């Protein structure tokens, strides 16, 4: 979706700015990014700087012909006005070997470029900027974020190579997170993951945090807490095999797309079972977090007593996290609205006694942070 300048101040979604005099190219970029980002496009550099002054984008695509009326270097102007915002130069020519093809920018792309290349470059630069800010956090928060994102990314590499997950590595990566949760000191972690551009990682970290907090609330300790955090982090790894256009599609999925999306559960389970040392509970979280008490869930239509307490907890946390996550095509639902929806329209889907405990847990966490 392409945003006009007047809408920038109201936009709270991840924003990419495109500065290019070629209207057709701006429209092509906006269409290419619509499933991933909000886009604001500008034909003139100086006008873009004026409009973006109070609503800094997460990245800027800057055509090499874009120029400032003052004659100054556009990249340096962006660095001065918007420090930390990644700049991607788009070139109307082949990228030469040697020299500064990017002209001081963070990256460059030769037109016409592939949609996948564009998204990969933007996402990589956005995440690099977000993760660099983690270095300024206290060690316990920095370690929680850096170790879990490194673990999550390494799992992607293992999947690509057909190698099994190493549970001790995931467990160790989640250790700082478990310590933070046990000490009711986790809000900074959740706050600082919000700007990260890997939605699957953000959602999985939120599930890992809230699921381990749920376990702590009902009295679990030690390895049980580690199991919950690890299970939360890997519960959706099958989504790494789902096409981006399905995973990030704005609006309702059609029947075929829904079938593809739901296949992430068996894909997750099949991969997790390659790890011979993986606790059964981790597989249960991945396999049953979309099941419902009334039997209308997937993939196996389990119901009632067929769902153990771990599966019931995981379903509550996953639903709450999905409702309150920010996506490019939707604003996050307020926590109180999400809980009301889960109590009302989802009353037959999820364990209401556990939901009551979950509500109390969130209330205690908020009041504890406020204090």
* pLDDT band for position 96 (cuts 50, 70, 90): low
The structural domains of the chain, with segments of one domain joined by +, span: 2-127, 135-370
At residue 117 the predicted structure's pLDDT band, cuts being 50, 70 and 90, is: confident
pLDDT: which is higher, 100 or 301: 301
Compute φ and ψ for 134, nearest 5 degrees. Answer: -65, -25
Q: Average pLDDT, stretch 253-269?
A: 96
**pLDDT over 70 at 2, yes or no:** no
Model pLDDT, residue 5: 47
Nearest to 31 by CA among 94, 118, 106: 118
Question: Can you tell me the mean pLDDT for 157-169?
Answer: 93
pLDDT score at 344: 95
Q: Measured between alpha carbons, how far is residue 20 from residues 48, 90, 131 in Å?
A: 10, 9, 29
What's residue 8's pLDDT?
A: 41
Higher pLDDT, 237 or 369: 237
Confidence of residue 326 (pLDDT cuts 50, 70, 90): confident
| Averaged pLDDT for residues 185-196 | 91
Q: Helix 199-217 and helix 167-182: axis angle, to 10°?
A: 60
List, in sequence order, every beta strand (DSSP E) within the chain: 2-3, 15-19, 38-42, 59-63, 87-91, 107-110
Q: What digits encode the pLDDT tens for the residues 330-364?
A: 778 999 999 999 999 999 999 999 999 999 999 88
Q: What does the block give as tokens for 91?
A: 């070139």
Could you tell me which residue, 247 or 292, shows the higher pLDDT? 292
CATH 3.40.50.2300 fits 2-127, yes or no: yes
- What token pair was written down for 184? 């009711």
| DSSP-H helix ranges across 105-196 | 115-134, 139-161, 167-182, 187-193
CATH 1.10.3210.10 fits 135-370, yes or no: yes
CA distance 284 to 308: 9
Tell me the pTM. Answer: 0.83
């Amino acid at each position: 979706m392409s945003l006009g300048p007047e809408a920038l101040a109201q936009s709270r979604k991840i924003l990419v700015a495109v500065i290019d005099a070629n209207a057709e190219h701006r429209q092509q970029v906006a269409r290419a990014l619509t499933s991933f980002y909000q886009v604001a496009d500008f034909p003139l550099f100086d006008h873009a700087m004026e409009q973006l002054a109070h609503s800094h984008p997460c990245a800027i695509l800057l055509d090499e012909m874009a120029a400032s009326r003052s004659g100054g270097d556009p990249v340096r102007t962006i660095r001065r006005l918007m420090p930390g915002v990644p700049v991607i130069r788009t070139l109307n020519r082949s990228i030469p070997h040697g020299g500064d093809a990017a002209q001081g920018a963070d990256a460059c792309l030769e037109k016409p470029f592939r949609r996948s290349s564009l998204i990969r470059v933007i996402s990589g630069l956005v995440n690099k900027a977000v993760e660099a800010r983690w270095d300024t956090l206290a060690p316990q928060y920095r370690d929680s974020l850096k170790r879990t994102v490194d673990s999550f990314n390494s799992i992607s590499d293992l999947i690509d190579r057909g190698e099994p997950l190493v549970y001790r590595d995931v467990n160790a990566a989640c250790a700082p997170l478990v310590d933070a949760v046990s000490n009711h000191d986790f809000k900074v972690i959740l706050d600082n993951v919000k700007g990260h551009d890997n939605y699957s990682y953000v959602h999985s970290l939120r599930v890992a945090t809230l699921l381990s907090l749920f376990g702590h609330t009902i009295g679990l300790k030690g390895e049980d807490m580690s199991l919950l955090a690890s299970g939360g982090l890997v519960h959706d790894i099958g989504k790494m095999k789902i096409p981006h256009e399905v995973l990030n599609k704005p609006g309702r999925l059609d029947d075929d797309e829904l079938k593809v999306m739901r296949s992430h559960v068996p894909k997750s389970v099949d991969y997790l079972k390659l790890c011979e040392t993986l606790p059964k509970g981790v597989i249960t979280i991945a396999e049953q977090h979309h099941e419902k008490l009334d039997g209308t869930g997937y993939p196996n239509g389990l119901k009632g007593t067929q769902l153990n307490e771990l599966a019931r907890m995981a379903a509550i946390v996953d639903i709450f996290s999905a409702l309150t996550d920010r996506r490019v095509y939707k604003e996050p639902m307020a926590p109180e609205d999400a809980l009301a929806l889960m109590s009302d329209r989802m009353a037959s889907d999820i364990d209401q006694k556990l939901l009551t405990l979950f509500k109390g847990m969130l209330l205690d966490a908020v009041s504890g942070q406020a204090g």
